[in-house]
Structure 1
Amino acid sequence: MTTPYVPTPYKAPDELPDNAAFWQAAREGRLLVRHCTGCGKPHWYPRTLCPFCMGDTEWKTASGLGEIYSFSITRRAGPNPFCIAYVRLDEGVTMMTHIVDTDLDRVRIGQRVRVRFAPTDGDGSAPVPVFAPVEAA
């Protein structure tokens, strides 16, 4: 059995002063991750203070590569099935996201993935980061 991925529109993100750089980078096809200027640790979800030492943080461009840590495929009534996953980026942070552009029955823990940016339903709004298997990217 195969479960094809069918694109679904995403809600436009709330763009605020604290995350404006993140969404601008997404428009440029770059994934940003916050790093602490004190202890040097990266963290996700983005916040202005480091969750490890309460130091200041700065944005750094991530490679956009990682592997699936865990996932779930939701098959329900509605427009289509979808795969939600935790992806551990090569930079060390884990983010919740969708797996796209693949047969959902072929998704596996440990599978290498690469970031893509999916359009949103807002006029001129930033795209959201999603991930596809490296062989499909």
Structure 2
Amino acid sequence: MTGMQKDQGPDAVFAAKLAEGVFEIQKCNGCGAHVFHPRVICPACGSADLGWVAPTGRGTIYARTIVRRKPERGGDYNVVLVDLEEGVRMMARVDGIAHDEIAAGLQVSASIAEGANGEPAVVFRPERGAS
């Protein structure tokens, strides 16, 4: 971790990494548990020795909802909970598929794209061959 990152909170480090095109989550150097949402202490063992690692980016949709909006207000969008292979769950969106085709169990892969606020965000796309 660079000196600059030590001075930032974990949310700021996560956002700075996304801005550099890097998707990483934390991993506890004490117990080996992966951690997401960024934290200062491992929720599994209480250790403050958390490092950053690149996840596989592969996951499975746990749940989804579709927010319906009029086209002039930006149109519909989806919100999903994704279980990453590393055992953490994160909230995101799925691109590249019709909203109504997103369902629990869908296999997805992460990438970085523009979020709703114009900032970089982790988004998912269906894995090739996934139905």
Per the shorter chain, which TM-score range?
A: 0.7 to 0.9
The question of whether the paired residues in 2 share the 8 Å contact of 1:97 and 1:130 is answered with yes
Name the CA distance, whole Å, in 1 between partners of 2:90 and 2:114.
19
The question of whether the paired residues in 2 share the 8 Å contact of 1:116 and 1:129 is answered with yes
Structure 2 match to 1:44: 36
- Give the counterpart letter for 1:30 in structure 2: V
Deviation string, structure 1 residues 52-91 (Cα, Å, up to 9, x no partner)? 2110211111111101011111113321111101000011
The structure whose residues are more often helix, as a share, is 2
Shift of 1:134: 1.4
The question of whether the paired residues in 1 share the 8 Å contact of 2:28 and 2:42 is answered with yes
Determine which of 26, 33, 38 is the counterpart of 2:18.
26
Deviation string, structure 1 residues 20-58 (Cα, Å, up to 9, x no partner)? 442343234332111111111112111121112110211
- Give the counterpart letter for 2:83 in structure 1: R
- Give the counterpart letter for 2:8 in structure 1: P
CA RMSD of aligned residues (A): 2.1
Shift of 1:131: 1.0
Determine which of 39, 53, 57 is the counterpart of 2:50.
57
Of structures 1 and 2, the one with the larger relative CO (CA 8 A, separation 6+) is 1
Structure 2 match to 1:89: 84
Name the CA distance, whole Å, in 2 between partners of 1:100 and 1:57.
31
In structure 1, runs of 5+ residues without a counterpart are: 1-15
Shift of 1:93: 0.4
The question of whether the paired residues in 2 share the 8 Å contact of 1:30 and 1:62 is answered with no
Determine which of 3, 8, 12 is the counterpart of 1:17.
8
Structure 1 match to 2:103: 108
SS in 2 for 1:135: coil
1:74 and 2:70 matched: no
- Give the counterpart letter for 2:43 in structure 1: P
- % identity of equivalent residues: 32
Normalising by structure 2, we get a TM-score of: 0.79
The question of whether the paired residues in 2 share the 8 Å contact of 1:32 and 1:60 is answered with yes
In structure 2, runs of 5+ residues without a counterpart are: 1-6
